[in-house]
Amino acid sequence: MSVAGITETIQCLTFKLGDEVFAVNVAKVREILDFTTVTKVPQTPDFMRGVINLRGSVVPVVDMRLKFGMTATEKTVNTCIIVMEIALDGDTSIVGALADSVQEVLELEPEQIEAAPRIGTKLNTEFLIGMGKHNETFIMILNIDKVFTFEDMESMQGGGSQAAA
């Protein structure tokens, strides 16, 4: 049974956080960078690792593991920053998402995607488009626009808005 609203094949970039596989729509991905020096910004949330200079633009970098309640990302040869566009309240912001490793670009058919599980009313699964299945592996397909709240973006940008580069 596929998720209502997904009627065509979607292309997703898959990445790992710990042992879990996540995916985002490739249309949201600008580029993938090797892990580089991140400048810490005082008084930002724990999941906000800092900022990087991307061709003259300041881009906030978020540790996706911390955002999802996991332990902090450790730097390895595979650690990378996925630079994505996030739409929030009509604005587009650029955010770097720290991931343990990038896997591959997959095409998922509607019948390979199931609705996110509903586990009581306490668990917020609004940020999940659904659960994909590929080669017996479950893939959590993120609605990256819903992973971050307006308050998250405000705290990452020091209260100001950032225009798309």
- Which residues lie below 8 Å from residue 90, measured CB to CB, with a gap of 6+? none
**Model confidence pLDDT, tens digit, residues 144-162:** 988 876 666 666 665 443 4
Instruction: Provide the pLDDT for residue 88.
Output: 79
Phi-psi region of 153 (alpha: psi -120 to 50; beta: other; left: phi over 0): alpha
Picking from 74, 137, 146, 148, the residue whose alpha carbon sits closest to that of residue 103 is: 137
What per-residue confidence (pLDDT) applies to 20?
93
